[in-house]
Amino acid sequence: MVDHLGLSTWLKQITSNALVGGDHPDKAASLAALLKQGNLEPHEAVMVGDRDSDIAAGKANHLATLGALWGYGSADELRLAGADALCASPKDIGIWLDHQAP
């Protein structure tokens, strides 16, 4: 899916909750486990999510957060949660990442 969306160029690692032993009590704990498993520092990762709980999990782990407008949450929900940016499509993730590069 990542290759199909053209996002693999920007990714060092692809992981999921299932790879760290399944569900954790909350998204912040799950994300912390993923970061630890991948040996990633917060500046090396971005949380992309479509709900306020995704943005909160990213913020709790000191990550940049992108609100995915093609998911279930609304732009207002994601803005109120404090998303650093909103992305109308997966392509916008790459555009945002390009603008963050040194």
Percentage of residues in the chain having pLDDT higher than 90 = 55
3 inside domain? no
Give how many domains the chain has, as a whole number: 1
Tokens of 84: 């650093």
CATH of the domain at 85: 3.40.50.1000
Q: Tell me phi and psi for residue 65, to 5 degrees.
A: -130, 135
1 inside domain? no
Tell me the per-residue pLDDT of 1-33, one tens digit each, with 9 for 90 and over.
778 877 788 777 776 666 555 555 688 988 998
Give which of 94, 18, 28, 96 is closest to 62, Cα–Cα: 28
Domain containing 57 equals 8-100
Tell me the per-residue pLDDT of 83-98, one tens digit each, with 9 for 90 and over.
999 999 988 998 998 8
2 inside domain? no
65 inside domain? yes
pTM of the shown model: 0.85
58 inside domain? yes
Tell me the per-residue pLDDT of 23-67, one tens digit each, with 9 for 90 and over.
556 889 889 988 998 899 999 999 999 999 999 999 999 999 999
Compute the radius of gyration of the chain from its Cα atoms: 13
